[in-house]
Each structure stands twice: as structure tokens, then as C-alpha cells.
């Protein structure tokens, strides 16, 4: 009997807390299958078993958050045809120059040419941040699951220059939707360390936060032991370009030694590097060899499949 109890306890311990299991982050929704940052792409990612659904957010002229990867509208909407005269001198259409009502009349489309066909039907909308949250929370209610959101504040310093500060408006929304404290099912991400420091130290935000780090030479110092020491004073983890991890896998160990999570971006089946014979090999390399805590992917289903099979072994 004692032995049975011992075995049960060991098994329970081996299962570990769910929070430490590696996660799948649906990058721009299931963007490998449907136009990025649409409610349809978010719903598909949810159904495929994502742990977190990512929203990139920018502000409109009338201070509403919409889900867009860029501060520009033309890479993923038909704004050029609909509002030909509303571009700036640099030839670009900025979300910050349009009201939410105007943006809602646009047709959103996929960015990458090899993916969901651009043009024609069906009509896709640019969602507001609130609509994206309500979709995830609604599905959490109907499915009984508890999936998180993973919003990225896009170009906060640029927004301040447009007289559209993001930070307080953002905190008001997430708090209104019940995201509070370090265990909330949310990761707040940003490429600008100053923004996360401001949220954490000046605005009292205790939500989990991820500092995104590009593979730019300028940002290299952030992925040193000294850089990570600094990041650990305000962030919960890092979101490096996957190439940075491949170049120096030790960075995962260094981050873990500072209790920082590592969520690299982005695994893409249709852009899988040639050195991997199959996409599943690239997924395995990151989760099992580099031992990251989560991955951003355009192909949620592929990462979920890998983790499920790996867990069963
Ligand atoms: Ca993003």
C-alpha cells in the first residue's frame, strides 16, 4: 500500500504544475491559415488548442485599440483603394490618422502572398482589442478551457509623439476584463524596455511581461548575462528572435537562472529553414533541445501536435 501511495505521489510530482508546461502562442492568430489579426484567425487558433492568442495593438485617431501588426494600414487592408488621399507625405496610411468607424469599413487581408488569397470574398474586419478579448473569454466560457491573451503594445514611443499615449488606456482595458496580478492569463509584450519598466515601476502593473528582443546588432547586449540581469528587474521573460537562440542556445539557461521565461518567435511551416528536414524537427529543436518555455507560431496545430505526442512518450 505504501508503495502504491509512493508511486502515486511520484507520478503526481512528475506531472508537475500545468503552468510550467511549455506553451503554444498563436502568432497573429492561426495566421498560417487565415488572414492575420482577424477574429476568424483568433477563433481558429483557439480551436486548434493554442494556450495564448496574440494580439498586436495600435491606437486609432479616436484612441481605440485595434489589432494590427503595424502602425500602417496598407500591408493588411484595402485602405489604399478606399481612402487614396489619406496617406502621409511618406506615402503610408497610418491607423492613427483614421477613426475606428473608418477602419471598420476596411477589408482586412493576409500579408504574405503564399497564404490566404488576397481580394474578393469573404470580408474580414480589423478587430478592436476588446473584441479580441471578448472572443477568447467567450470561448473560454463555452469550452470550459482557460486560454490567455498575449497583447503586444506596438511602438509606444511613436504613439506618444502622435499624442496617443497607450499605457494607461491599455491598463484600463485589461483590468476591466479581469486581468489582474502575476497569475493572470495574459502576457504583456513590447520591444521597448522603457515601456515595460514604466508599466512595472511607475504604474504598479504586476501582470506577466515579456520583453521582445530583435536579432539586431543594437539589441545584442540584452542577451548577455548582464543584459538579462537588468531585464529580470522588470520583466517575467524574454521573447527573442529564434535566430538568437540558435546562435547562442546558452541564453535559455542564462534566462532560466534568472527565473525569466523564454518565448522565441516565430515558427513558420512555410518558411522552415532548410537545415530541418521537416517542420516537426524545428519544433522539436526549440521545445526539447533548447528547452524554451513557449513558442510563437503561425501554425498552432503543428506545435500542439508535437507537444501532445511528446508528452505521451
Ligand atoms: Ca507581435
Q: Which residues in 23-142 belong to E strands, given as ranges?
A: 23-26, 52-59, 65-67
- Closest by CA to 176, choosing from 130, 215, 135, 231, is 130
Q: Is 64 considered catalytic here? A: no
Residue 313 sits at the vertex; the CA angle it makes with 30 and 274, to the nearest 5 degrees, is: 50
Handedness of CA 90, 95, 98, 103 (dihedral sign): positive
State the distance from the centre of ligand 1 to the C-alpha of 281, rounded, in angstroms. Answer: 24
Residue 4 has pLDDT above 70, yes or no: no
- Closest by CA to 55, choosing from 164, 135, 118, is 135
The pLDDT assigned to 20 comes to 77
- Catalytic-role residue among 64, 69, 109, 159: 69
Percent of the chain with pLDDT over 90: 89
Q: Is 69 considered catalytic here? A: yes
Question: Band of the pLDDT at 312, cuts 50, 70, 90?
Answer: low
Domains identified in the chain and CATH numbers: 2-12+25-71+129-312 (3.20.20.190)
State the distance from the centre of ligand 1 to the C-alpha of 212, rounded, in angstroms. Answer: 9
CA dihedral 23, 27, 32, 34 (to 10 degrees): 120
State the distance from the centre of ligand 1 to the C-alpha of 267, rounded, in angstroms. Answer: 13
State the distance from the centre of ligand 1 to the C-alpha of 157, rounded, in angstroms. Answer: 16
- Closest by CA to 237, choosing from 20, 5, 8, 10, is 20
10-33 residue pLDDT tens: 444 444 334 479 999 999 999 999
127-178 residue pLDDT tens: 999 999 999 999 999 999 999 999 999 999 999 999 999 999 999 999 999 9
State the distance from the centre of ligand 1 to the C-alpha of 266, rounded, in angstroms. Answer: 10
- Closest by CA to 284, choosing from 261, 263, 309, 262, is 309
pTM of the predicted protein model: 0.93
Amino acid at each position: 500500500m505504501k508503495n502504491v501511495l509512493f508511486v502515486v505521489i511520484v507520478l503526481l510530482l512528475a506531472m508537475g504544475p500545468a503552468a510550467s508546461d511549455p506553451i503554444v502562442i498563436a502568432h497573429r492568430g492561426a495566421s498560417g491559415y487565415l488572414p492575420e489579426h482577424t477574429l476568424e484567425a483568433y477563433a481558429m487558433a483557439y480551436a486548434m488548442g493554442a494556450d495564448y492568442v496574440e494580439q498586436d495593438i495600435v491606437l486609432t485617431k479616436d484612441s481605440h485599440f485595434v489589432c494590427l501588426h503595424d502602425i500602417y494600414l496598407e500591408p493588411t487592408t484595402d485602405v489604399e483603394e478606399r481612402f487614396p488621399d489619406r496617406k502621409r507625405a511618406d506615402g503610408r496610411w497610418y491607423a492613427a490618422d483614421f477613426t475606428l468607424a473608418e477602419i471598420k469599413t476596411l477589408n482586412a487581408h493576409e500579408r504574405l502572398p503564399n497564404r490566404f488569397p488576397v481580394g474578393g470574398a469573404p470580408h474580414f474586419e480589423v478587430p478592436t482589442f476588446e473584441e479580441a478579448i471578448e472572443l477568447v473569454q467567450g470561448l473560454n466560457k463555452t469550452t470550459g478551457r482557460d486560454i490567455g491573451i498575449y497583447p503586444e503594445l506596438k511602438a509606444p514611443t511613436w504613439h506618444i509623439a502622435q499624442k496617443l499615449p497607450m499605457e494607461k488606456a491599455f491598463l484600463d482595458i485589461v483590468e476591466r476584463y479581469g486581468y489582474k496580478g502575476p497569475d493572470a492569463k495574459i502576457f504583456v509584450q513590447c520591444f521597448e524596455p522603457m515601456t515595460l519598466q514604466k508599466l512595472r515601476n511607475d504604474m504598479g502593473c504586476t501582470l506577466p511581461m515579456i520583453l521582445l528582443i530583435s536579432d539586431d546588432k543594437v539589441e545584442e547586449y540584452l542577451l548577455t548575462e548582464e543584459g538579462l540581469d537588468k531585464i529580470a528587474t522588470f520583466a517575467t521573460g524574454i521573447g527573442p528572435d529564434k535566430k538568437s537562440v540558435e546562435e547562442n542556445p546558452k541564453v535559455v539557461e542564462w534566462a532560466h537562472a534568472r527565473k525569466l521565461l523564454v518565448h522565441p518567435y516565430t515558427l513558420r511551416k512555410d518558411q522552415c529553414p532548410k537545415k530541418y528536414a521537416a517542420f516537426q524537427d524545428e519544433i522539436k529543436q526549440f521545445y526539447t533541445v533548447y528547452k524554451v518555455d513557449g513558442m510563437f507560431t503561425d501554425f498552432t496545430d503543428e506545435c500542439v501536435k508535437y507537444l501532445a505526442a511528446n508528452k505521451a512518450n
